[in-house]
Amino acid sequence: MGSNQSTPLSLLVTNFKDVKARGRNLSVELKKGKLVTLCRSEWPSFGIGWPSEGTFCLSIITKVKTKIFLPGQSGHPDQIPYILVWQDLVENPPPWITPLIPEPCKVLVTRPTRQRTPSAPSAPVLLDSQDPLTLEPTLPPPYPQDPVPQGGASVEGNREAEAAENESNLGGPAGRTRGQVQRDQASRLPDSTIALPLREIGSFDDTGLSRLMYWPFSTSDLYNWKSQNARFSDNPKDLTSLLDSVMFTHQPTWDDCQQLLRILFTTEERERIQVEARKLVPGDDGQPTANPDLINAAFPLTRPRWDYSTAEGRGRLLIYRQTLMAGLRAAARKPTNLAKVYSVLQGKTESPAVYLERLMEAFRQFTPMDPEAPENQAAVVMSFVNQVAPDIKRKLQKLEGLEGKQIQDLLQMAQRVYNNRDTPEEKQFKATKEMTKVLVAAFPQAGNGQNRKQKKQGPRQGLEKDQCAYCKERGHWIKDCPKKRRPANPTSVLVTQDSD
């Protein structure tokens, strides 16, 4: 007997607990619903070959990752955690993924042609250092500075030495441009696609830990992040998604986290985040603890002496970042306001998948419930059905056992209705046809007159020799037709002539 073939997306959904645990190991939080939405709707729309059922092909994953990491409005920072975890699952596959990992995807290359000897010397080729218009992809912030000399020197001493070395190595105005810095760094740094405040440099210390190099955030990057995202009190989703990706990609230290809090949040928001985070500090059993000593040790409000070059220091930084993000999400939740949830309606041209994501985000923001928890599925289903577009709503309400349906089943049904909608041209044609019917019903005499006119304009039939042209009967002509009205006889007037 045949069985349903597993797809990459179905595997990740089935084993989402493992996927979520992998994300937590990378200091990011994933949502099952958003993962499904991104895989089925968002990433296929990039037009780079991502199938709606997902893929484990690293070349396609890399293309999607490049699209997501684009700077400014072209990028998608809220999707960074999902594509990074997906890539990590492929590069370090668990047992349930290993059998489906494909061989390296084939890449079409041009066949090399036979080298010809040029008859004349070719034009000189500008080297990278000579090309004034080199368009190089910029690295994501923060931008790297020169490496810090290794040794037992303090961080502050390393930064001073780094600044002095930078000042001495920069030659002329071009030496200070981002492109020149990238070219200079390429000869000294290991290959990588991203620059991090704490970044592995390839070598290992005596304990077997990889050595880390520190690069601070750029002030311009911090203020760009602040200007390009909404205020946390107005829309916490933007800054939450941004910090989710920053915590993973940049691995900030305690000082970096304080800098992020000071720049991106107001004083009231910052205090609320810290209060909520200290409530969620994990104890020895992994559950939130009330022990003040453990809280101060795991989430200190003053600068701790954590050494990121040791395993203990890295572990404390990881716990601090995870606790800070948990406090950020807790502070983002506002008092319960179901009216805000009920006001989230599907737009006329909005796809059901995007609408469902907005609805679930409203549940997270305005209610204490988790919309993905099984015990809250009924509330999410009823809100989705009642607030979806009217044509989809009518279709969903006809389903039997609506309360017991899974939200993903309803989403598939809604997507089919959405895809089968008439195009604007078809709607215009139907509207014109209906209007014609209404006009004909309202003015029937116009239609009858038109029919009579058409009849009159038809071809005449010939008459027989003894056939009347008026009544079409035989035996007489029209002048003798008894059915034809004749003019009344004029009254005779007797005129007499008087005689003389």
Contact 450, 456 (CB under 8 A): no
The count of residues in the chain is: 500
- Torsions phi, psi for 496 (to 5 deg): -110, 150
Report the alpha-carbon distance of residue 261 to residue 41 in Å, rounded.
Answer: 33
Structure tokens at 150: 């290794």
**Which contacts (CB < 8 Å, 24+ apart) does range 57-64 have?**
57/102, 57/105, 58/87, 58/90, 58/91, 58/104, 58/105, 59/104, 59/105, 59/107, 60/105, 61/86, 61/87, 61/90, 62/87
**Domain boundaries 219-332, corresponding CATH code:** 1.10.375.10
Single out the residue of 91, 69, 99, 79 nearest to residue 22, CA to CA: 91
Contact 282, 298 (CB under 8 A): yes
CATH number, domain 338-419, options 1.10.238, 1.20.1250, 1.10.3470, 1.10.1200:
1.10.1200
Question: Along the 500 residues of the chain, how does pLDDT read in single tens digits?
Answer: 444 567 888 889 888 988 988 888 887 888 888 898 899 888 988 888 899 889 988 889 988 988 888 876 778 888 888 998 999 899 888 888 888 777 655 444 444 445 454 454 444 444 444 443 333 344 444 444 444 444 444 444 444 444 444 444 444 444 444 444 444 444 443 333 333 455 555 555 556 566 666 777 787 888 888 888 888 888 888 899 899 888 888 888 899 999 999 999 999 999 999 999 999 998 888 889 999 999 999 999 999 988 877 888 888 999 999 999 999 998 887 778 888 899 999 988 899 999 999 999 888 888 888 888 888 888 899 999 999 999 999 989 888 877 778 888 899 999 999 988 877 777 788 888 888 888 888 776 555 555 555 555 556 677 888 888 888 888 888 888 888 776 666 555 555 555 44
pLDDT at 400: 82
* DSSP strands (E only) in 222-311: none
For every residue of 206-264, DSSP letters joined together read: TTSPEEEEE-PPPHHHHHHHHHHS--TTT-HHHHHHHHHHHHHHT---HHHHHHHHHHH
Question: Cβ–Cβ contacts within 10 Å for residue 283, how many?
Answer: 13
152: which DSSP letter? Answer: S
Sequence spans of domains, the chain:
8-100, 219-332, 338-419
Contact 61, 49 (CB under 8 A): no
How many alpha carbons fall within 13 Å on the CB side of residue 349? 2
Single out the residue of 34, 3, 10 nearest to residue 100, CA to CA: 10
pLDDT per residue as tens digits for the range 135-192: 334 444 444 444 444 444 444 444 444 444 444 444 444 444 444 444 444 444 333 3
**Domain boundaries 8-100, corresponding CATH code:** 1.10.150.180
- Torsions phi, psi for 406 (to 5 deg): -80, 150
By the 10 Å C-beta count (0-12 exposed, 13-18 middle, 19+ buried), 224 is classed as: middle
Structure tokens at 230: 């909404």
59: CB partners within 8 A, 6+ apart: 104, 105, 107
Q: How far is CA 427 from CA 233, 274, 417, 420, 432, in A?
A: 42, 54, 15, 12, 9
Report the alpha-carbon distance of residue 129 to residue 122 in Å, rounded.
Answer: 20
Report the SS3 class of residue 486. Answer: coil
Q: How far is CA 450 from CA 148, 434, 436, 457, 459, in A?
A: 94, 20, 15, 11, 16
Strand partners, 212: 200
Structure tokens at 165: 């070395």
